[in-house]
């Protein structure tokens, strides 16, 4: 306790000393120009993107020289990155201008579905029945609840779903949830498979469902939460996070940017833990049924990228149709006819949802 108090005192003294230093700031300069000595706005063209893409030439050369066989993957990934970010920017630009809650939550739902597709069909070596549904509910509910709470109370947004901060924030939550849920689900399936004999022996001797699941779930949760814990521990000391860097480059106050980053990291940690917990418990409940019996026979080996690409195409065309149908959805939103809003939403997402959720390989 005394050591903690001493460390806290030293930290406070260092903070006061740092805050009292005269950095020679010129208050007449724009905020961004104090660090960058540039004009407040720097517009980037496709030529700038092309120059940045030239750096990937080293990766391609290295792959060809050492025979890594990654040249095609590098080029395809770069093209996908460019196209995906461009489309995302165009969609977000329209959503930010309209501030329509139907579009905002529609975008969130599409991102949640894509996250569930990523976990189910790309990152998991095996699949079990209703895995997509369980993953979607786990990720979407955790990110949505924590995102709304964090934006409303920590980031002081009114309303909490203000698009300019809510969508980027929940996008980061989805990205972290994908990693955590993937690690957790793979850990559960691998542990039950590797320790099959021990689990079945425990069940034969009368062990309850929870007694069998508990050590597996604890191991999975621990493995899934470690990346976020490690990230928090090195942030600001070794790593300058991308969000804070973006804010600083955009001309924001550095202290405000650091506080935003702290809040985002806490939200990421909470959403990762909650989504992983829900998905791990769902997976465990499916693989160890209520009898209780170990049901590894229902696991299916993932068919890889073919199935995933098919579902991504379905999601893309469905979401594009939804966002393009501006008139019917906007009219329903303005009239506050929530049944019409729900009907429009379901109409334009039902086809893709059925294809993604209900089609089994």
Q: What is the pLDDT along the chain (361 residues), one digit of tens a residue?
A: 555 566 556 656 655 554 554 444 444 444 433 434 444 456 778 888 889 889 998 999 999 898 888 888 899 889 888 888 888 888 788 788 877 888 889 889 988 998 998 898 888 888 888 899 999 999 999 999 999 999 999 888 888 888 888 988 999 999 999 999 999 999 999 999 888 888 888 888 888 888 888 999 999 999 999 988 988 888 887 777 777 777 777 677 788 888 888 899 999 999 999 999 999 999 999 998 888 888 888 888 765 554 545 555 555 555 555 555 545 555 554 554 445 555 555 555 555 555 544 444 4
Return the pLDDT at 26. 44
CB atoms within 10 A of CB 106: 21
Tell me how far apart the terminal alpha carbons of the chain are, to the nearest angstrom: 57
In this prediction the pTM is 0.73
Structure tokens, 245: 């860097």
Sequence ranges of the domains in the chain = 52-89, 101-302
């Amino acid at each position: 306790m005394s050591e903690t108090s001493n460390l806290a005192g030293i930290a406070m003294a260092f903070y006061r000393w740092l805050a009292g230093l005269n950095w020679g700031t010129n208050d007449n300069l724009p905020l961004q120009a104090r660090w960058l000595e540039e004009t407040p706005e720097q517009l980037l063209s496709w030529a700038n993107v092309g120059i940045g893409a030239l750096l990937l030439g080293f990766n391609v050369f290295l792959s060809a020289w050492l025979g890594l066989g990654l040249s095609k993957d590098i080029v395809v990934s770069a093209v996908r990155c460019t196209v995906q970010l461009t489309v995302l920017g165009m969609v977000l630009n329209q959503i930010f201008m309209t501030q329509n809650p139907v579009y905002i939550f529609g975008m969130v739902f599409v991102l949640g579905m894509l996250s569930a597709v990523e976990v189910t069909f790309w990152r998991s070596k095996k699949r079990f029945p209703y895995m997509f549904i369980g993953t979607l509910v786990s990720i979407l509910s955790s990110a949505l609840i924590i995102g709304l709470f964090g934006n409303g109370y920590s980031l002081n947004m009114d309303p909490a779903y203000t698009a300019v901060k809510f969508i980027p924030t929940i996008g980061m939550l989805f990205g972290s949830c994908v990693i955590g849920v993937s690690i957790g689900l793979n850990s559960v399936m691998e542990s039950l498979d590797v320790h099959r004999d021990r689990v079945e022996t425990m069940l034969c001797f009368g062990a309850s469902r929870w007694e069998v699941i508990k050590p597996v779930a604890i191991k999975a949760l621990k493995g899934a939460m470690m990346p976020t814990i490690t990230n928090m521990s090195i942030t600001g000391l070794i790593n300058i996070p991308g969000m804070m860097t973006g804010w600083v480059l955009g001309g924001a106050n550095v202290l405000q940017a650091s506080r935003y980053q702290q809040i985002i990291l806490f939200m990421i940690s909470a959403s990762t833990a909650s989504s992983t917990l829900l998905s791990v418990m769902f997976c465990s409940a499916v693989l160890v049924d209520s009898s209780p019996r170990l049901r590894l026979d229902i696991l299916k080996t993932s068919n890889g990228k073919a199935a995933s690409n098919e579902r991504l195409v379905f999601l893309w065309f469905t979401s594009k149709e939804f966002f393009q149908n501006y008139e019917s959805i906007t009219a329903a939103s303005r009239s506050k006819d929530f049944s019409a809003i729900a009907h429009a939403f379901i109409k334009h997402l039902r086809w893709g949802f059925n294809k993604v959720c209900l089609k089994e390989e």
